[in-house]
Copies of this chain bind each other. A is one copy, B any other.
Amino acid sequence: MKRYTQKEIDNFIENLDFSKIEGGIVPIIAQDYKTNEILMLAFANEEAVRQSLKTGIACYYSRSRQKLWKKGEESGHIQEIQQVFVDCYKDTVLFKVKQKVAACHTGYYSCFHREYVNGEFVTRGNRIFDPDKVYKK
């Protein structure tokens, strides 16, 4: 798990460009640190980025609920951050993570488990957990 000091976090935040998307958020891609499989894309405001780098566990910002979203808080399916990358414009972040159980709330390892083939969305991979058993109603 990769944690950063307060000084390192301040410097990271200063360098990030939060201005491109309304509300001051940046996209973050979570990628499996071993296989490079893409797990999900979410957004983070400054507070969520700070939280992620401080704890070493991915934290995002939920646009629908308009609050911090500690990924895995309910399910336990946390993402332990191994490496942090930025893109050339420093307006997008990449977390290479160790994913506990699965990333997708539907039970699949990756949120990108549907491929568009011959006009249909075809499911790839297997359901790892049953959402009804993991998430309270």
Contacts and interface: CB of A to CB of B under 8 A. Distances in A.
A20 to B, nearest CB: 7
Copies in the complex: 2
A39 B80 CA distance: 22
A94 B112 contact: yes
Interface in A113-133: 113-116, 118-119, 121, 124
A105 B92 contact: no
Given A8-B116, A88-B114, A89-B111, 5 more contacts: A8-B119, A22-B22, A85-B114, A87-B111, A88-B105
Interface of A: 4-5, 7-8, 11-12, 15, 20-22, 27, 29, 31, 35-38, 40-41, 63, 83-89, 92, 94, 104-106, 108, 111-116, 118-119, 121, 124
